[in-house]
């Protein structure tokens, strides 16, 4: 139960970080945030993740982006596809 709450918190934080993109592309953003959350949870231990969160934004990006690159690329494609349909 606590794990579910933690996952929900991470997904909500991700959606908040996406800002207006999360509003304009809600289903794509939800999919992306679920993907990154699942990927980060499976890649980093809780202790590693907490230590990573203490680092600067740039350092976090440097360590996390390679881990979630597949999610990031899929999100970019989904947003591009959705925006060209407007």
pLDDT tens digits for range 49-82: 889 989 999 999 999 999 999 999 999 999 999 9
What is the mean predicted confidence (pLDDT) over 4-33? Answer: 89
Asked if the model's pLDDT at residue 1 lies above 60, the reply is: no
Q: Is residue 35 within 8 Å of 7, Cβ to Cβ? A: no
Asked if the model's pLDDT at residue 7 lies above 60, the reply is: yes
Q: What is the dihedral of CA 72, 78, 83, 85, to 10 degrees?
A: 170
Averaged pLDDT score across all residues of the chain: 89
What is the mean predicted confidence (pLDDT) over 7-15? Answer: 87
């Amino acid at each position: 139960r606590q794990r579910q709450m933690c996952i929900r918190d991470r997904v909500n934080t991700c959606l908040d970080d996406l800002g207006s993109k999360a509003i304009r592309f809600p289903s794509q953003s939800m999919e992306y945030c679920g993907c990154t959350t699942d990927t980060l949870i499976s890649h980093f231990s809780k202790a590693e993740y907490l230590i990573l969160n203490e680092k600067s934004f740039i350092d976090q990006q440097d360590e996390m982006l390679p881990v979630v690159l597949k999610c990031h690329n899929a999100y970019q494609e989904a947003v591009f596809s959705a925006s060209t349909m407007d």
